[in-house]
Structure 1
Amino acid sequence: MKQVYLALLCTSALVLTACSSQPKPTTSGSVMKAANPEAAWAERQRVLAQMQQWQLKGRVGLQLREQSWSFGLDWAQRNSRQYEMQIQNPLTGGLMATVLETGSQVTLKAADGKVYQDTDAERLLARQLKMNLPLKNLQYWARGLPSPNVAVDAVKLDAAGRPTRLQQAGWVVDYASYEGNGTQALPSKIQLEKASERVKAKLVAKEWKTRF
């Protein structure tokens, strides 16, 4: 049972899934400069919002109160409502848990073969872990975009028009680095924190595969 709990808890870290009324961004950082960072930010949101299919391979570190875990992640997004996430042992690469959302149903299969299902991914993890996490938002945050589902509290941009910090839905999302210097570059290191629930997560992207 402990193994099931850890696999489910790990899953919550990854699923910690552009708004017309966003606050005006501020610019920070020292990178390749855009002529107008705010215009570059608007263009970034327009372009990356069209990215319906992508795959992210990397690793995640999760801290929940005084406990911490790390694990590998293979996340394949099929479209805005369908994805498959594989949670892997960070040392052996063995499969710890799989989360599959088909749009109408979410299935979580733990390492011991037990299967949990619901029609809502957030409710599924909340029921199993007694925690509420914004599962719909990370598919946007992972790409360096605000979620269109929630109002943006604040955003800071670098000189290329990319977010360095995004505050939304009670979470603070910090972008430590990107894969390249261009405006459309995808994040390579992301840190997330929700202070009210004492949850922190770090996502390191080792490989991105995209299809527009």
Structure 2
Amino acid sequence: MKLSVIALTFAALVLSGCSSLTVEPLPEGLTEQPPADWRKTSARLDQLQHWELTGKLAVRQPSDSGTAVINYWKQDRETYELALSSSFLGMGRTTLEGVPGFIELTLPNGERYQSGDPESLVNAATGWLLPIDSLAWWIRGLPGPDGDFQLFFDDKGQLAVIRQLGWEIRYDRWQAFIEGYPHLPARITAVKGEKRVRVVVTSWNQTDGDSR
């Protein structure tokens, strides 16, 4: 199967027809001055390295738009497994497994594709220019280790925006998910040009192996 066929298969997975994704303008009143407890908060978030979440993914770009269910996203330090499906189409699960610098994509029919360039494989399969290796950081409310970044905070001292690798990550909502940890993102919107990717988290749990 050629990579173009992967793209068609994966596109069928995530598209759900009449999805709507609205992104509000960047609000005024943000500051680059972090709150006094930011260093403590970010250090605690960095300690959360074994977790699992579920939720929903919405995509909007010039060529198409749609939604997919995040059946689970499991993270074990740098190792991740992300399972997506589209209940609208009644298709099976597609999984992304990997570590920074390597990814394996498994289609619903069981066919597997591997690459040492995760971003290129995801782009070929989905049309998204999404730095997959940065997601495990952004989803926790932290900048990734690669590339310069800017952080913007609101008037309550809550992280509102990360700008990194040409992306603007907007933190739309935070929620207390895991006891003993700061609030975690419940909804984020990643913006790059005309591309919009929104993740809404419905559950987030600490898994075995996380140090307290």
TM-score, normalised to structure 1, is 0.75
The answer to whether residue 49 in structure 2 is matched with residue 52 in structure 1 is yes
2:9 matched to which residue of 1? 4
2:60 matched to which residue of 1? 63
The answer to whether residue 147 in structure 2 is matched with residue 150 in structure 1 is yes
Amino acid at match of 2:46: A
The answer to whether residue 175 in structure 2 is matched with residue 193 in structure 1 is no
* Cα offset, 1:57, TM superposition: 0.2
Q: CA RMSD in A?
A: 2.8
Amino acid at match of 1:156: F
The answer to whether residue 186 in structure 2 is matched with residue 179 in structure 1 is no
- SS of equivalent to 1:144: coil
Structure 1 unaligned regions, length at least 5: 11-23, 27-36
1:97 matched to which residue of 2? 94
Structure 2 unaligned regions, length at least 5: 16-30
Written as runs of structure 1 = structure 2, the 5 A alignment for 1:34-53 is 38-53=35-50
Amino acid at match of 1:163: L
Q: 1:206 aligns with which of 193, 202, 206?
A: 202
Deviation per residue, 1:20-72 (Å, 9 max, x gap) = xxxx824xxxxxxxxxx622221111111111111110001101214101011
Amino acid at match of 1:75: W
* Cα offset, 1:5, TM superposition: 3.8
Q: 2:114 aligns with which of 88, 113, 117?
A: 117
Q: Percent identity?
A: 25
Determine the C-alpha separation between the residues in 1 that align with 2:101 and 2:168: 29
1:33 matched to which residue of 2? none
* Cα offset, 1:89, TM superposition: 1.6
Determine the C-alpha separation between the residues in 2 that align with 1:137 and 1:158: 26
* Cα offset, 1:123, TM superposition: 2.9
Determine the C-alpha separation between the residues in 1 that align with 2:168 and 2:99: 28
Highest RCO, 1 vs 2 (Cα 8 Å, sep ≥ 6): 1
- SS of equivalent to 1:136: helix
2:32 matched to which residue of 1? 25
